[in-house]
Structure 1
Amino acid sequence: MKQICAALTVLLAAGLLVGCTVTVQLPGGEATPAPQPVQATPTPEPDPTPTPAPTPAGEEVDSPEVFLTSEQYDIYTRADKASQPLFGDTFSVMYQYSWNYSDQPEVERQADTGTTFRYQILEGENATLEYYREQLLTVFTPEFLEERGFDWRFISIDGKLAAADIGIGGNSEVSDVPDTFQLISADDNTVEFYRIAHYTIPMEGESTEDYIARRAVSYDKVGHLTIRLVNTENGWRVDAYGQPSFAGPDNEE
């Protein structure tokens, strides 16, 4: 019996090595095929995703998302809202943070520029100069805030945020035609592009109704506003920005 078992073992091993089927006739039973080794099915490699071609500099597109990374585009879109109090109505900051006018009367202060402004104290959760500055620095560079006069537009009075009582009306010639965008240059440290605003100029003798209707579908001139993003140690930040409502058409030669 031991000799029969040894012979069976040799036969099974030989069959497995050559990958064939070995039939073993056991005493008193029917022949039983020995199991074959399972062959692994190779997993096909996925087709590589093609890399989109970069947008050439100078090509006009409908959105800067075409040539910006997701981080850069997020910073750009946040800048549009965050920059409003730095261009026109300073008090628009209240609507962004749900702050209110304080019951305290306006206070006169002389800014570093030598101009005296009346400041309205604001109140609400986190309505402090330090908090507001920190929020803006998540979008803009310190140099941009300095350029836009942050230090005289907003000051601290008794530990509370105070806004200069100024308001600059927007340009009513801005057309409803959507802005377009044009890449100037881009590398790992800086991305610069134009935001192209459209303006419709009122015609002599044109009624208000006709002008509004024409402005909704057409434009007469454009303005190239420079947008610049820089890569800082804290991530991408806006270093130059323009608001169409507070700008105008390009100067004609």
Structure 2
Amino acid sequence: MKKKRLCAPLALLLGLALAAGCAGASASSSEAPLREEDARIPGEGSGFVVQLEGEPPVSQQVRENTVTPGFIHMTEEYLRAREVFRLFRGNPSHVEDFPREDGTWYQPGTLSQEIDGKLYYRAWNRYENWADFEAMVRAVFTDEYADALLAEGTFRNRDGVLWYAADTAQPDPAYQGGRTDNFLTVDQYVGYSEVENSFKEFTLLAHYEGENGVFVRELPLRAEYTEETGWRFDRFDDPAYTDRTYPPQQRQEYTDLSFLTEEQQALFTAARQAADDYLFGSASDILRLPGNRMGETFPVQQNGYTVEAAVVEGEDGDYAALTQKMRGLFTGEYLEKTGFTQRFGVKDGRTTVILGDMGTDIYYTDGAFDTYRLIGAREDAVDFMLVAHYASPQDYETDDSFIYRRDTGNWDYLVEYPVRLVNTPEGWRLDTYERPY
């Protein structure tokens, strides 16, 4: 990171102050009062902050070197949490990188004191006042999580003024995160789940270079939502400064279904196609399948409204035969859960459907890029994860460039969907599956 403002004389002063603190200098030291004409310079002189809206402002370094989980639509909240978290786990002096609200910026002074045996420096800029700093931390994290961070002692409140610890942590040189170019990313996000207007949780797969090649640490993240506060993180981590005790994970993923028996492979392939064709999207998609066509139409009542329905002619026109086909692929519980009997009706023994259309997730990259992660295999069941790949449009992309990137497999994030096959008296059946698009 380029910091134009840290001139050689100032760096020397800071170095001398640190040396004095380490040598056991007096409990506090003072400096000549700063003169505004000497210390105040334009905010852009730091070459650091690129926007002043929101608390804290997001630095260029964090904005450019963070792979954001765009699929949760919380990009700015995530970037701000990353900005604050690295103050506690990385270099506390970065709190001086933020200019004041009017865009001006003071050169950090060398005023220092020892507090509980540790050397601290006085803050001078945007978060000079403890109240402003504390409010900024609580604007990003839940109160409980903010309390835990503030209690660590990295930052101290002295008579309403912010003091920050001289201790710094170097980022992990093994960390491989960040964008490798304008399209491809290294870090990825999986295990995404949410409850609307309640919480969002996901896992960051952080990649590191080790002696035996690249390994992964899984870092759990979670944000809570309330109408009073909006989104606040209550679980967070920065992969560049994360606790080194996180164990490496060996995520064995398969690019094909070779971990299944031939019978299980055939069942899953057929059942997945049938689920996509019959159980997701619009029920009327059945009319577009080969061998089917639309027969007579008629009005029906649905949720208090009159809608149009149609008889299915052709391959799937026999309702009993269609039901038998589906029960040969899925458990009865799964068909009930996906609403098979609500999606398709019967009239004089013929299959009927409500006419209508439903969109798909345009961010999903083609199924050819899907991978699989085996959870466990027993005689009565096999559990694994379908790892689906997604690409979300970036601000710099045109529609055509985004579609090309998505369709050629340059994705931004992953979502894992659980899959379960069970061995019933009639043979293997699909019991858990969710379509990724």
TM-score, reference length from structure 2: 0.40
Q: Residues 118 and 142 (structure 1 numbering): CA distance in 2 closer, same or farther, change over 3 Å?
A: farther
SS of 1:127's equivalent in the other structure is coil
- Kindly provide the amino acid, as one letter, of the partner of residue 203 in structure 1: Q
2:334 aligned with 1:141 = no
Q: Residues 244 and 96 (structure 1 numbering): CA distance in 2 closer, same or farther, change over 3 Å?
A: same
Report the Cα distance in structure 1 between the residues aligned to 2:342 and 2:299, rounded to whole angstroms: 13
2:280 aligned with 1:87 = yes
Report the Cα distance in structure 2 between the residues aligned to 1:183 and 1:244, rounded to whole angstroms: 18
Choose 1 or 2 for highest CA Rg.
Answer: 1
Higher percent of residues as strand: 2
By how many angstroms is 1:157 displaced?
A: 1.5
- Kindly provide the amino acid, as one letter, of the partner of residue 139 in structure 1: L
Matches within 5 A, 1:71-110: 71-84=263-276, 85-96=278-289, 98-102=291-295, 104-110=296-302
2:432 aligned with 1:227 = no
Q: Residues 82 and 217 (structure 1 numbering): CA distance in 2 closer, same or farther, change over 3 Å?
A: closer
Q: Residues 89 and 231 (structure 1 numbering): CA distance in 2 closer, same or farther, change over 3 Å?
A: same
Q: Residues 115 and 107 (structure 1 numbering): CA distance in 2 closer, same or farther, change over 3 Å?
A: closer
Q: Residues 119 and 170 (structure 1 numbering): CA distance in 2 closer, same or farther, change over 3 Å?
A: same
SS of 1:105's equivalent in the other structure is strand
Aligned length: 185
Q: Residues 186 and 117 (structure 1 numbering): CA distance in 2 closer, same or farther, change over 3 Å?
A: farther
Report the Cα distance in structure 2 between the residues aligned to 1:116 and 1:195, rounded to whole angstroms: 39
By how many angstroms is 1:115 displaced?
A: 8.0
Report the Cα distance in structure 1 between the residues aligned to 2:306 and 2:404, rounded to whole angstroms: 42
- 1:204 pairs with 395, 401, 406, which one? 395
Matches within 5 A, 1:13-162: 58-64=251-257, 66-84=258-276, 85-96=278-289, 98-102=291-295, 104-110=296-302, 118-124=308-314, 127-162=317-352
Q: Residues 180 and 58 (structure 1 numbering): CA distance in 2 closer, same or farther, change over 3 Å?
A: same
By how many angstroms is 1:125 displaced?
A: 5.0
- Kindly provide the amino acid, as one letter, of the partner of residue 179 in structure 1: D
Contact 1:99 1:122 in 2 (8 A): yes
By how many angstroms is 1:106 displaced?
A: 2.8
Report the Cα distance in structure 2 between the residues aligned to 1:115 and 1:192, rounded to whole angstroms: 41
Gaps of at least 5 residues in structure 1 are 1-56, 246-253
Contact 1:121 1:162 in 2 (8 A): yes
2:383 aligned with 1:183 = no
- Kindly provide the amino acid, as one letter, of the partner of residue 342 in structure 2: W
- Kindly provide the amino acid, as one letter, of the partner of residue 430 in structure 2: V
- Kindly provide the amino acid, as one letter, of the partner of residue 274 in structure 2: A
Residues 75-122 of structure 1: per-residue CA shift (max 9 Å, x gap): 0000122112211132232344512111x22331448xx887542111
SS of 1:76's equivalent in the other structure is helix
2:241 aligned with 1:241 = no
Contact 2:320 2:349 in 1 (8 A): no
Residues 186-245 of structure 1: per-residue CA shift (max 9 Å, x gap): 100010100100000101242011112221231101010111100001000000112121
Q: Residues 119 and 175 (structure 1 numbering): CA distance in 2 closer, same or farther, change over 3 Å?
A: same
SS of 2:365's equivalent in the other structure is coil
Residues 46-100 of structure 1: per-residue CA shift (max 9 Å, x gap): xxxxxxxxxxx95111012x21111100000001221122111322323445121
TM-score, reference length from structure 1: 0.67
Q: Residues 150 and 159 (structure 1 numbering): CA distance in 2 closer, same or farther, change over 3 Å?
A: same
Identity among equivalent positions (%) equals 31
Contact 2:256 2:372 in 1 (8 A): yes
SS of 2:297's equivalent in the other structure is coil
Question: Counterpart of 1:18?
Answer: none
Q: Residues 213 and 126 (structure 1 numbering): CA distance in 2 closer, same or farther, change over 3 Å?
A: closer
Q: Residues 109 and 129 (structure 1 numbering): CA distance in 2 closer, same or farther, change over 3 Å?
A: farther
Gaps of at least 5 residues in structure 2 are 1-249
By how many angstroms is 1:126 displaced?
A: 5.7
- Kindly provide the amino acid, as one letter, of the partner of residue 423 in structure 2: N
